[in-house]
Amino acid sequence: MIEQLLDENNLNQEKIYSLLGSLALKGSDYADLYFQHSVAESWFLEEGIVKSGTYHIDHGVGARAVSGDQTGFAYSDDLNSKAIQKAIDFAKGISTKASVQKIQTFNSIPQIANYSGVNPLGSLSSNEKVDLLNRIDKLARKEAKVKQVSASISGAYSEILIASTDGVYKKDYRPMVRVSVSIIVEHNGRVESASSGGGGRYDYRYFIDHKLDEVYVSEAIRQALVALESSGAPAGNMPVILAPGWPGVLLHEAIGHGLEGDFNRKETSVFSNRIGEKVASDKCTIVDNGTLANRRGSLTIDDEGVPTQSTTLIENGILKGYLFDKMNAKLMGKQSTGNGRRESYAHIPMPRMTNTYMLNGEDSLDNMISSVDNGIYAVNFDGGQVDITSGKFVFSANEAYLIKDGKISTPVKGATLIGSGDEVLKRISMVANDLRLDSGVGVCGKDGQSVPVGVGQPSLKIDELTVGGTEV
């Protein structure tokens, strides 16, 4: 569709080059045009009925001019030349330079894609999508304690074209699908809830071919039944062991954001000016990798046309680098790491994570558990809050267990983990060889923009962490 829309509005490569020249007329340091066409749908089941379905189409172009650390930006949801020119005229007002910026010759060589470029919305018929939701409902209700079930499937497909003054002229075709299930259980008057799901840059048949509806339902039921048996969490300072996979969201929030280039250029991160310093335990190596095949956080190119890559952030405890978009990289004398991301054509790009995770260690989960006399084993998290400047965080564990005398004991509810990202890194004493990535549900918010991301980690032991609970 992106090609058809461009053709309908007489926007060939030559015309786009001309529009870009107008955007760069006042000699800004950098300028780009970001064309996008997107379709998205969602289907929602509740009380055994598919109650709603939505379908949305959107397209437009964002015009951006960068001068130093200032950005002029405007967008149009109309792709005719006059509307685009109005956006350009506004955006280029940021620069007052008299010179005209030279535009490099376009390089339109495609990248090797990290996912299929096929629109996933047509991979199942409407009836098959409804059948999938009904099957989830029936599977969940086989458990007698399940009282309510809600489920959803959603899909999106975005086609983009990026043209910039540094010679980029690249297209990308981005699929995304997701299935989610939430249940409420009740037993002896006690009510608990849980949810599960996953997805990635696949089509809908991915869920059916791998029987993931069964996996997600089983996981939601398991978590809910565990919650029914839980008691109040203890409070105090104690060892905490984090399970592999989704608990990597703690690394994402408490550490990953602090390694994004804009915070470090402005020196507002706890990790600012610390490249080459020891900021973590020797056990810790953390990467951001946008090249993983079909992963939710992966991209073939970022939203500035830079190929994504695997960037080592921390290696054996030493801070190695930050995540950059083009603007912050230039201002800090670095190269973009392919982490310039934006929610849509109506937003400006900024440095954002893709798939951020800790690499495997050489320890084992069994040895971690046996090394703890009194502590917490945190398996899943609800969410949390982080202060980027200080690195301090608060996270709520929705599935956790007591560790007593070197063994996993009873489940606990209401465990809150409190600490500082840089301090926690130094207290990691064991890292297992069981790396797992999340199931494909992550959404990251920053400055009002949301983008899909991935997280992960192996099991790891934090020697001491403050746990907020209901029992002392």
**Please, what's the largest Cα pairwise distance for the chain?**
76
Query: What one-character-per-residue DSSP string does 276-293 give?
Result: TSB-S-TT--EEEETTST
The confidence band for 180, taking pLDDT boundaries of 50, 70 and 90, is very high
Q: Which among 163, 215, 205, 222 has a CA at the least distance from the CA of 23?
A: 163
Q: Which among 465, 457, 459 has a CA at the least distance from the CA of 285?
A: 457
| Integer Cα distance of 227 and 194 in angstroms | 8
Query: What one-character-per-residue DSSP string does 130-144 give?
Result: HHHHHHHHHHHTTST
Residue indicated by tokens 């199931």: 439
The pLDDT score that the predictor gives to residue 471 is 61
| Integer Cα distance of 20 and 104 in angstroms | 11
Superfamily the domain 2-228 falls into: PmbA/TldD superfamily (3.30.2290.10)
Q: Which among 19, 43, 42, 44 has a CA at the least distance from the CA of 32?
A: 19
Tell me the angle at which helices 212-228 and 126-140 cross, rounded to the nearest 10 degrees. Answer: 30
Q: Is the pLDDT of residue 41 over 60?
A: yes
| Integer Cα distance of 326 and 301 in angstroms | 13
Please give the mean pLDDT across all residues of the chain: 95
| Integer Cα distance of 286 and 298 in angstroms | 16
Q: Where in the chain is the domain with CATH 3.30.2290.10?
A: 2-228
Give backbone dihedrals phi and psi of 355, rounded to 5 degrees, phi first.
-110, 110
Mean pLDDT of 217-238: 96
State the amino acid at position 107 in one-letter form: N
Provide the whole-model pTM: 0.95
Q: Is the pLDDT of residue 409 over 80?
A: yes
State the amino acid at position 443 in one-letter form: V
Q: Two tokens at 160?
A: 């983009």
Q: How far is CA 472 from CA 46, 232, 245, 467, in A?
A: 40, 10, 29, 10
The pLDDT score that the predictor gives to residue 98 is 65
Q: Which of 21-30, 55-64, 251-260, 270-279 has the lowest mean pLDDT?
A: 21-30
